[in-house]
Amino acid sequence: MEFLKCMWEKDAIQDIKKYKTEFEELRTSINIKRCEKIGVILLLLNIILIITDRVVYEPMRAFTPEYINLYYSHLIVLHLIILWYVILFLNRIYKKFIDEKILYNFFANIIIYWCLFMALNDLYINGQISAYIICVLSVASCLYSSPIEGVILYFVSTSLFISGLFIIIENNPNLLYGNIVNSVIVTFFAFIVSKVNYIRFSKDFISQKDLLKSKRDIEEKNEILIHYEKLRSDFFANISHELRTPINVIYSAEQVMELNLRKSQNYDMSKYLKMVKQNSFRLIRIISNLIDITKIDALSFDVKFRNLNIVKVVEDITISVAEFIEHKGLTVIFDTSIEEKVIACDPDLIERIMLNLLSNSVKFTKRGGSILVSIYLEEYKVCISVKDSGIGIPDNMKEIIFDRFIQVDKSTTKSCEGSGIGLSLVKSLVEIHKGSISLNSVISKGSEFIISLPDELCFEEDIHENIINLDDSRIEKINIEFSDIYN
């Protein structure tokens, strides 16, 4: 059924008109290449047949003169194929002064009319026409001939072959009509095979062109999306910088006013200034996170890796926030199974990661609870755990907790604020270190965030240790990261 469907399918032939020039160039190129390969085989075959004629069949020529016809046919075909190669060679040198369609059709005619002659000649020797049958089917299978080429090639040669049959077999009607029927059936079948091959080749060509077109369309759409994504990133970067400037002005003014109020001891005004200060920190934190996210998306985030004692780095960060955490009625514990471990890391990014995770633990842990920070080694990785006894995270949130703008507590009565950017940024910063972050959590029992960093060193002359100190810069960073937590 599939064979017959291809035989009568007209859609492929109609569709090929859109790509007619390109399709014909490809079809002609493939046919020429196949003719070249077949030509080599026929050259070798005819050389062997010529030798066989001289050695085996020459003594038989006296009894069967038709053997001399075979000998000369092999010589003629041998010279014609060589001539075809010469013309093909000259055609390529002189920029195709002959259409290559003519060349492969000429080659096909050489083969068919050679086999036609041998089949008619064999009727005198053994009464067989198998040479013509094999040849016609082989040409139909090997070459992609258009329907018009197929009609001219097969039906014209068959007409000549039938005419030859009438001349040679004039006294044996049964043999004559039997061979005519066989040749007509074979020719019709060869035409069907040729057309099916042509249609299948056309469909494959169209499918490939459509696939390439779809690929180009997708690439164009991707370029548009990349362009819009860049515009989005640039917009967020610009708007974030624009927001940061007035916030910094407000914060600077607040600091000046705070200095003046210390002298006047106006406690009411001090309370309001504290609110201004805390909310300034909150805005600075949100804007900084937005800027960092856009930089990461744009692959322009600045990272400075150093070989540092990660145990000391994490311990100093934990100690620096201990007073703030204990002021909230929580206990914080630092524990390590290793005293020293030097790895490649960016201390500023590690600080951002740890302060963000500790801030989250403080937000969602009630008074009387505890926070445990621990470090241990596991399979060539350094693991940093931040575990709390807070409210925990629901199972349906665990898979998306690191997505942007996701918040566990969306209620309007929550005691802490947040933009839903922090954990997404933490994940990105960990991945910049070629690490990973995972979550273990049980509702009402607490959560544990585990950071896994590779136990690797970077190339540098000196290994810097103990460079993290509690200074004014650290205090300001703590105030910014913990600004979402109300007093």
- Give the pLDDT of residue 467: 39
pLDDT recorded at residue 192:
92
The DSSP element (H or E) to which 381 belongs, if any, is: strand 381-388
Q: How would you class 224 by CB atoms within 10 Å of its CB: exposed for 0-12, middle for 13-18, buried for 19 or more?
A: exposed
CA–CA separation, 49 vs 71, rounded Å? 8
- CA 280 to chain centroid, in Å, comes to 45
- Euclidean distance between CA atoms 38 and 210, whole angstroms: 32
pTM of the model: 0.51
For the CA atoms of the chain, what is the radius of gyration? 43
Residue 411: predicted pLDDT: 46
Letter string b/e over residues 317-338, b meaning 16 or more CB atoms within 10 A of that residue's CB: bbebbbebbeebebebebebee
Low-confidence ranges of the chain (pLDDT < 70): 1-16, 233, 235-237, 239-242, 244, 261-268, 270-272, 298, 405-420, 460-487
- Asked if 50 and 74 count as a contact pair (C-beta separation under 8 A), the reply is yes
User: Rounded to a whole number, what is the distance in angstroms from the first to the last CA of the chain?
Assistant: 81
As a whole number of angstroms, the distance between CA 165 and CA 12 comes to 38
In what helix (H) or strand (E) does residue 345 lie, and over which residues does it extend? Answer: strand 342-345
- The pLDDT, as a whole number, for residue 297 is 72
Between CA 162 and CA 97 the distance in angstroms is 36
Superfamily designation of domain 304-406+419-472: Histidine kinase-like ATPase, C-terminal domain (3.30.565.10)
> Cα–Cα distances in Å, from 83 out to 48, 50, 71?
19, 18, 19
Write the pLDDT tens digit of every residue in 371-425. 999 999 998 899 999 999 999 998 888 888 888 766 555 443 444 545 567 888 8
Q: For residue 166, what pLDDT is reported?
A: 87
Q: What SS3 state is found at 403?
A: coil
- 306 and 344 Cβ atoms separated by less than 8 Å: yes
Distance from C-alpha of 419 to C-alpha of 79, rounded to nearest angstrom: 85
Contacts of 5 (CB under 8 A, 6+ apart): none
Residue intervals of the chain classified under CATH 3.30.565.10 are: 304-406+419-472
Please give the pLDDT value at position 475: 63
